Structure 1
Amino acid sequence: MNDLTPARLRELKRDATVRPYDLAAQLGLSEAALVEAELGFGATRIDPALSRLIPAVQKLGEVMALTRNRSCVIEKIGTYNEFHDGEHAAMTLDTEIDMRMFPRHWVHAYAVEAAGADGMRRSIQVFDAAGGAVHKVHLRAGSNLEAWNELLRDLALPDQAGLSDFDARTLPEGARIAEDRADILRAEWAKMTDTHQFNTLVRRLKMNRLGAYRIVGAPLAMPLSVEAVSALFEKVRAEQHKVMLFVGNAGCIEIHSGPIRNLKPMGPWLNVLDDRFNLHLRADHVAEVWLVDKPTRRGPAISVEAFDQAGSLIFQCFGMRPEKGGDPEAWARLVQSLPAAGAA
């Protein structure tokens, strides 16, 4: 659309009744392109390098951290503490803002100021090479504005006018299966001592997560009904389980550790609306659900994992370990009670 100049995009954003994510999809643009239309009008292009960005975000104090994929959004309130940088992976290990970050996907970043009904809204927005959202940080009333101004001054990049040439969006991979390696997969899976060994194993066997689940068989991976997702959340809430819920995309995974208190379904959305933790899940996007058992030195790591129609991971939910307040036996009973695939 040649008429979609930055000025025209700013008009469309002002008049929009949908969120930027949905507006970008309607226009056939990346979400980052909508942000770049605001360069010089409240948006500042900043350095996306985690080694500089996350320490600057930590100084902001209490903020809201948001990570999403097409089907699920997780929002946690807290401070970015205990940052550990790394060439291929980095993390924050705070009890509230607990994240795993993959630097090669942190390509475009912006500090955004926009007037809202409740005053000035400030956020950090990070996107991948295709302009897809990786992670966002929203300031709150108590956030440190002096640190915000310092971030703007120190991380602003020289080019504040040129528009980015975003890559084409990579299509979802779907399930990748190597039928001739199924026996090797089962044997090696049974020998695992840490859940982090799983990704290395399936890559070595030329498969991916969903492909491995489809081929490995019970009791290591068992298909559940799509209705198992709503049942899972309701049982976690009703039985007051403490869980670890992982939601993310290729560039960032955000983790909630603890209970679920306020569950509010609304149309296709399944919402968790707790004081410092919100989750918004498009339950109608769930196409496959798997009950997965991975051996570790500390006992089995049992998870419920949901995938969309294209084979992309939506979320993973584990029971918390006993030393963190979890009850593995109760968690095992809960997941075994979830409806299996094909159940009436």
Structure 2
Amino acid sequence: MTLDTLDSIDHADPATLRQARLDRPKLRARDLAEILGVAEGALVAAHVDGAQVIRIDPILDRLMPAIHALGDVMALTRNASVVHERCGSYEGYHSGNHASMVLGSEIDLRMFPRHWVHGFALLGGPRPSVQIFDAAGDAVHKVWLTDASDVAAFDALVAELRLADQSDTISLTPRTPVEAAQARPDKRADLHREWAAMTDTHQFLRLVSKVKMNRLGAYRTVGDPWVEALAPQAVTDLLHACAAQSVPLMLFVGNQGCIQIHSGTIHRVEPMGPWLNILDPRFNLHLRADHIAEVWHVTKPTKHGLVHSVEAFAADGALIVQIFAKRAPEAEAFAALLPGLPRQIAVGAGGAS
């Protein structure tokens, strides 16, 4: 079997995947997996040897205390269009059946346990890491050691969470497709009324479900004064403006299993080809600006006042990134930047165009 014949995860035998890694050692695992047409989790699993790559228990209630013991690390959460990297320690873990949280001053996570399916500890490479994948083999969350991490605690994590099964294959299920926008123009009046009655942003998803829509469908439906279509360039312009004026913000990046949040100011915003990068000492963001198809300025009423966000979506409807004001009193400075962002020239019945 040659690499050219790898057209599905069923054909990706571990020996072939290991050879592919040897043939292309400089490629990141995700990039190589995409070239090969396999899940990244399958590529990592192919290297399990019980010594340098070890299968570990991904259960959050066991994993999070062990990661907390590592001290300062780098947390990485990504989706297909953006990578969010934040240094810090895993403080303030709160367990939950549906959703769990880490509420540290630097590492801020919302985690959905049912998607934490396959866990690995990688001891080789430039730095040891913990890597978690979902049922389809897509990366959910990764934790990389830094120079300040407790290496002995990492050894203890591996010893404590090591699974008896150290096979080099994992069982994968088909990836859940992105849900397209579910808009209901006939329900606009109902959506508008429910939206105006919101007192907390956490009510939003229940609200849109009630009127049989999803997030993007609701944005395309509700209209003034709650949403406004922006040009894709608005995301780049907003990040540059926040950096130039030291306006604090909150950056949310997530996938099915994890949402990672940066709160505070940003400083160095640098484009590089299709990538827009934030390159700060403790926080990096790498965004494929060319993936942005729709951007919405969203306003939600709460009992504490209006909450503004700028939210970017890919052409398939996937949520890429959400940018919120940092909580009051800094929110006014963020809101003041929004009128200057470029608007979408026209909005058709199907959304931004």
Counterpart Cα distance in 2 of 1:216 and 1:92? 33
How many Å apart are 1:13 and its aligned residue?
1.5
Question: 3-state DSSP class of the match of 1:87?
Answer: coil
Normalised by the size of structure 1, how large is the TM-score? 0.95
How many Å apart are 1:3 and its aligned residue?
6.7
Counterpart Cα distance in 1 of 2:209 and 2:99? 17
Structure-1 residue corresponding to 2:349: none
Counterpart Cα distance in 2 of 1:232 and 1:115? 36
Instruction: Pick one of 297, 322, 326 that aligns with 1:320.
Output: 326
Counterpart Cα distance in 1 of 2:146 and 2:23? 25
Distance 1:115 1:18, change over 3 A: closer
Question: 3-state DSSP class of the match of 1:64?
Answer: strand
Question: 3-state DSSP class of the match of 2:252?
Answer: strand
Structure-2 residue corresponding to 1:111: 121
User: Structure 1 unaligned runs (5+)?
Assistant: none
Instruction: Pick one of 230, 245, 263 that aligns with 2:236.
Output: 230
Structure-1 residue corresponding to 2:312: 306
How many Å apart are 1:259 and its aligned residue?
0.8
How many Å apart are 1:4 and its aligned residue?
4.0
What is the Cα-based RMSD across aligned positions, in Å?
1.3
Normalised by the size of structure 2, how large is the TM-score? 0.92
Structure-1 residue corresponding to 2:20: 12
Structure-1 residue corresponding to 2:175: 169
Structure-1 residue corresponding to 2:3: none
Counterpart Cα distance in 1 of 2:202 and 2:27? 38
Does 1:32 pair with 2:41?
Answer: yes
Structure-1 residue corresponding to 2:65: 55
Alignment of 1:131-280 (within 5 A): 131-161=137-167, 163-280=169-286
Counterpart Cα distance in 1 of 2:227 and 2:211? 17
Deviations 1:26-55 (A, max 9, x none): 111100001101111511111111111011
Structure-1 residue corresponding to 2:303: 297
The answer to whether the 8 A contact 2:47-2:168 is kept is no
Counterpart Cα distance in 1 of 2:102 and 2:62? 14
How many Å apart are 1:228 and its aligned residue?
0.7
Counterpart Cα distance in 2 of 1:67 and 1:317? 16
Count of equivalent residues: 336
Question: 3-state DSSP class of the match of 1:250?
Answer: coil
How many Å apart are 1:177 and its aligned residue?
1.5
How many Å apart are 1:174 and its aligned residue?
1.4
The answer to whether the 8 A contact 2:12-2:38 is kept is no
Counterpart Cα distance in 2 of 1:275 and 1:281? 17
Counterpart Cα distance in 2 of 1:95 and 1:244? 13
Tell me which amino acid in the other structure corresponds to 2:327: R
Tell me which amino acid in the other structure corresponds to 1:182: R
Distance 1:115 1:73, change over 3 A: closer
How many Å apart are 1:14 and its aligned residue?
3.0
Does 1:329 pair with 2:345?
Answer: no
Counterpart Cα distance in 1 of 2:37 and 2:43? 11
Distance 1:262 1:69, change over 3 A: same
Deviations 1:102-152 (A, max 9, x none): 111111111111133xxxx21000011000000000011221111111111
Deviations 1:305-343 (A, max 9, x none): 0000100000001111125xx1x2222220111111018
Instruction: Pick one of 46, 65, 70 that aligns with 2:80.
Output: 70
User: Structure 2 unaligned runs (5+)?
Assistant: 1-5, 347-353
